[in-house]
Amino acid sequence: MLDRIKASLPSLAPAEQRVARLVLSDPRSFANLPVTELAERAHVSKPTVVRFCRSVGYDGLSDFKLKLAGNVSEGVPFVHRSVDADDKTGDIMVKVIDNTVAAFLKYRNEASASALDRAIETLASTHTSGRRIEFYGVGNSGIVAQDAQHKFFRLGMNTIAYSDGHMQVMSASMLKPGDCVVIISNSGRTRDLMDAADIARQNGATTLVITASGSPLAQAGSLHLAADHPEGYDRYSPMVSRLLHLLIIDILATGVALRIGPTLQSGLKEMKKNLRNKRYA
C-alpha cells in the first residue's frame, strides 16, 4: 500500500502530495487520527484528504484508513524475498510461502471492494440475460483463464476460455452487446490480449481486465481489477502473480454464486450426484 502511494506521488496534485507525505511519514498515526487533525497536519482542507484517498484507488477516507491499519499491523513483511542459488529446500519453502502469504494479505488490504462489487454484478447480470462470458489469457494467465472457465461453467454459465491469440481475436469479433470478456494478464502489455480487448469493446461487449495498475490493458478495460505484485521473472516464470489472479477469480466466482442464490444449490447437488460413479468408493 505504501509502495503504491510512493509510485503515485508524481501524478498527484501538490496538496494531495502533502497528504501522501504525511501518510508515508507515519502511517500508523494517519490510520488513527480524525480527518480534521489530518488536514491540519498536512496543511490542506478536509475534502483534499478525501480526494487523496480516492486518487490512490480507494473508496474514501474510511476505506483508506481501514486498509492502512491492516497494512501496518500485519506481522508479515510486504517484501518480495527472492530465492537465492544457494538456498536449501527449507529456505525455498519458507520464501515461496512467505511471498504468497504476503501478496494475499497485501491484496486484502488494498483491493477495492466497490470495483469487485461492480465486476460481480456485471458477471451476474450477463448470466441472468443469457449472454456469453469468455476468459482470455496467454501463458500462465491462460491457465488461470481455463480455471476461471471451469469455475463459472459449474455455476451454469455460458462460458469458454481461449489462450490462443488467433482464437481470442476470432471469438472477440463475434461478441455482441451484453456479452462479457474477462482478460487476465500479469504484465498488461501482451499485444494479442490488447487486440482482443479492442475488438470486444468495439463490438459493445463489456471488457473486465485483471492486470497491473497503469498498464495499457488496465486503461483499455471497461472494468479494471488491480492485481499488483512486483515479481521479477527474468529467472523464473511468474508464480505469486498467478496465484493472486486465481484468488481474484475465486472471489468473483463466490460473489456471483451468492448473487444467483438458492437455485444454484440444486444444480450443484445434481452435478455431484452424477459424478459419484466416476470415483472409487
Look up the pTM and report it: 0.70
Single out the residue of 181, 226, 228, 223 nearest to residue 200, CA to CA: 181
Cα(94)–Cα(102) distance, rounded to whole angstroms? 12
**Phi, psi dihedral angles at 223 (to 5 degrees):** -130, 140
CATH 3.40.50.10490 fits 113-270, yes or no: yes
What is the full per-residue pLDDT of the chain (281 aa) written as tens digits? 787 788 888 888 999 999 999 998 888 888 888 899 999 999 999 999 999 998 888 888 888 888 887 666 554 444 445 667 777 888 788 878 888 888 888 888 888 889 999 999 999 999 999 999 999 999 989 999 999 999 999 998 999 999 999 999 999 999 999 999 999 999 899 999 999 999 999 999 999 999 998 899 999 999 999 998 766 554 555 678 899 999 999 999 999 999 988 877 777 778 788 888 888 87
In degrees, to the nearest 5, what angle opens at C-alpha 251 toward C-alphas 27 and 229? 50
Q: What is the CATH number of domain 2-73?
A: 1.10.10.10
Cα(9)–Cα(213) distance, rounded to whole angstroms? 15
